[in-house]
Chains A and B, each alone.
Chain A
Amino acid sequence: MKFLHYILRNARRNPLRSVLTVASVSVCLFLMMILISFLSINDEVNDSVRIFNRIVTMSSQGFGQPVPIVRVSEIAALDGVIATTPFSWYGGKYNEEVMPFAQFGVDPKTIFTIYDELHLPADQLKAFQEDMTGCVIGKKLAGDRGLKVGDRLPLKDGAYPVNLDLTIRGIYDGPANRDLRMCMFNWGYLDESLKRDFGGRGSGNAGIVVIKCRNAEIMASLSKQIDKEYANSDTPTRTQTEEQFGKMFAEMIGDVRSFIGNVGLAVVFSLVCVAGNAMAMSMRERTTEVAVLKAIGFGKPLLLFFVLAEAVLVAGLGGVVGALGSKLFFDAFDVARYSAGFLPFFYVPWSTAILGLALSLAIGFLSGVVPAFRAAQLPVVTGLRKVV
């Protein structure tokens, strides 16, 4: 601790250089936190749904292929199943905005039993269940657009060739890491519209089926049972936990994941070079001082410590601003509302922010290694030669 003030003074010795180093580390880490968070949010959300005992049945050909609606009631009748719902992606325009938020046809009677972490007032749930053209929207979507119960919500030009003229019957709320910008409407309304306006083509399909199980222990056996049941049908299924279903999406962007990883490594490398160069310059200017310190009794370990501590301090400050700053920034500022539906929510998980901070410390350490060893190895006489 008695050397702390010396280290702090050295870090502030050339304020412009220190500020620029801190700025380069913090800006790069800020951007890196955004990239990493895209992946880590996905992982965190997938991990968090484990406790809800949900499994998802989709077509064995992929979720682009529909599952017959009859499967919803058939699966619901199986032992260990609490409730089931179809989950049909609509993806239509709202006014002239293309897919500004996620839209799903669901079963109003079971959806909030299955997604019991989402909360809808009882009177609004009743209204939703009783109105074929009713829908519920997330609290954030309502807030973004000033929508309220009773407002019309027309959707058009979606995945199905019918338009939906919906009325908001409820506004649901839930944890921060759930999609609170979703619109869920009665699947029956979509199906009736297809039958009425499109000759029934495309009707009778559930999209995927989401199943609430009695407990976690039966999820694996239930999944196997469902897939075995339909293995020899025209529409074989693939059933997996909700967590696995989410990870399947993550795997679809596997190349992006490795791309982001490589970009991250490149950023870390370039930051080590930038911070290392700044540190090396700083130490070159202090050659005589280092020699004086050695002359008056400061040993190699202490000099190593001084230089490494200074490098870690400067880069770490960049980490605090960049990594922790991004965490606080995205907690305070909801960027998802400006993402035109691309992001239902966005935040920097604590694990990612701490990773960023640890990275900045590692960058500082690595950037200080070479200058530190040079300083420690500097012969006193060589260092003093400039002045004696």
Chain B
Amino acid sequence: MKKGAKSMPNKLAIVLRGVSKEYRRDEIRIPVLFDLDLEVEEGEYLALMGPSGSGKTTLLNLIAGLDHPTAGEVCVRGQDITQLSDSELTRWRGNHIGFVFQLYNLIPVLTALENVELPLLLTSLSRQRRKENVRTALRIVGLEGREDHYPRQLSGGQEQRVAIARAFVTDPYLLVADEPTGDLDRSSAGEILELLVQLNREFQKTIVMVTHDPLAAQRASRILRLDKGQLVGDIAQSQLGAIL
């Protein structure tokens, strides 16, 4: 992991042009995103806010290559990922994206160490090197000594820390987090948000986070608001105070 590495100023990490997304349920078309344009700079920490059903998670899924847009292009690090096949997209995600989910989504039968090691199994790293990287990641998230604990033996906050370690252990280009504090108490949520800030500032990770929580959004460097499938503008940090 490249701690403190400086990114090129104003270099774009994510570019969305004319992105639309609609789902089909039988014959019914359900439009979710409309002709959306977005640019995110490298090293930026972007929070997406908006009411339920506004398309935040759909937008996050498109940026992370979990879904294909109905129209438009999604470029991440200069690559139009809409042109990739499913298998190419899977490989691309493994190499470039780290995921943090609301419910942590750890594998219950694996220990913390094994959960974090999971994405490294897809690399050609030796067993010893994998273990070293995992221990480093767990140390960064403050879970040294918890390597052999199973998810059921950890608190919610600790589980989310393991999930974050799993997300950045491969040193991905982009971290996407969907309501990372949505299932945590205020104290644990604060620790997780601090960790994400640390990853953004110390390790220059570009982060896109979906959240309902203004306190969580407050930690981001930019906050965008989505409503009815459209970006309705930036929310200034000063405006968050009113929301809070």
Contact of B105 among A6, A10, A387 (CB under 8 A): A387
Task: Verify B121–A387 contact, CB threshold 8 A.
Answer: no
Interface of A is mostly: helix
Q: A289-B105, A388-B101 are in contact. Are A297 and B61 (CB under 8 A)?
A: no
Cα(A289)–Cα(B118), bound, Å: 12
Whether, in the assembled complex, B159 has its beta carbon less than 8 Å from a beta carbon of chain A, the answer is no
> Residue of A at shortest CB range from B107?
A289
A284 CB to nearest chain B CB (Å): 15
Cα(A9)–Cα(B114), bound, Å: 11
Cα(A289)–Cα(B108), bound, Å: 9
> Residue of B at shortest CB range from A386?
B103
Task: Verify B66–A297 contact, CB threshold 8 A.
Answer: no
Whether, in the assembled complex, A118 has its beta carbon less than 8 Å from a beta carbon of chain B, the answer is no
Cα(A296)–Cα(B89), bound, Å: 11
B164 CB to nearest chain A CB (Å): 13
Residues of A45-69 whose CB lies within 8 A of B: none
A206 CB to nearest chain B CB (Å): 71
Residues of A358-388 whose CB lies within 8 A of B: 379-381, 384, 387-388
> Residue of B at shortest CB range from A288?
B105
Task: Verify A388–B119 contact, CB threshold 8 A.
Answer: no
Q: A297-B91, A381-B67 are in contact. Are A387 and B122 (CB under 8 A)?
A: no
A103 CB to nearest chain B CB (Å): 62
Cα(A288)–Cα(B94), bound, Å: 17
**When A and B form their complex, what is the total count of cross-chain residue pairs whose Cβ atoms lie within 8 Å?**
68
Whether, in the assembled complex, A3 has its beta carbon less than 8 Å from a beta carbon of chain B, the answer is yes
B213 CB to nearest chain A CB (Å): 15
Whether, in the assembled complex, A212 has its beta carbon less than 8 Å from a beta carbon of chain B, the answer is no
B178 contact set on A, CB distance < 8 A: 388
Could you tell me how many residues of chain A have their Cβ less than 8 Å away from some Cβ of chain B?
25
Q: A5-B114, A295-B66 are in contact. Are A12 and B90 (CB under 8 A)?
A: no
> Residue of B at shortest CB range from A302?
B122
> Residue of A at shortest CB range from B58?
A381
Cα(A6)–Cα(B99), bound, Å: 20
B87 contact set on A, CB distance < 8 A: 299-300
Cα(A13)–Cα(B110), bound, Å: 10
Task: Verify B118–A380 contact, CB threshold 8 A.
Answer: no
For B94, B95, B109, B118, which residue has the most chain A Cβ atoms within 10 angstroms?
B109
Whether, in the assembled complex, B171 has its beta carbon less than 8 Å from a beta carbon of chain A, the answer is no
> Residue of B at shortest CB range from A379?
B67
A282 CB to nearest chain B CB (Å): 11
Residues of A262-316 whose CB lies within 8 A of B: 288-289, 292-300
Q: A2-B127, A381-B61 are in contact. Are A296 and B118 (CB under 8 A)?
A: yes
Residues of B124-159 whose CB lies within 8 A of A: 127
A5 contact set on B, CB distance < 8 A: 114
A83 CB to nearest chain B CB (Å): 69
A384 contact set on B, CB distance < 8 A: 66, 101, 105
Contact of A10 among B66, B67, B109, B179 (CB under 8 A): B109
Cα(A379)–Cα(B67), bound, Å: 8
> Residue of B at shortest CB range from A385?
B57
Per-residue CB proximity of B79-106 to A under 8 Å, as 1/0?
0000000110011011100010111010
Cα(A2)–Cα(B122), bound, Å: 10
Residues of A151-192 whose CB lies within 8 A of B: none
> Residue of A at shortest CB range from B123?
A297
Q: List 16 A-B contacts (CB under 8 A).
A: A9-B110, A10-B109, A13-B108, A13-B109, A288-B105, A289-B107, A292-B105, A295-B64, A295-B66, A296-B166, A297-B93, A297-B122, A299-B87, A300-B90, A387-B101, A388-B101
The 8 closest A-B pairs by CB, nearest first: A297-B94, A9-B109, A387-B103, A292-B105, A380-B66, A296-B119, A299-B90, A388-B178
Q: Which residues of A contact B (CB under 8 A)?
A: 2-3, 5-6, 9-10, 12-13, 288-289, 292-300, 379-381, 384, 387-388
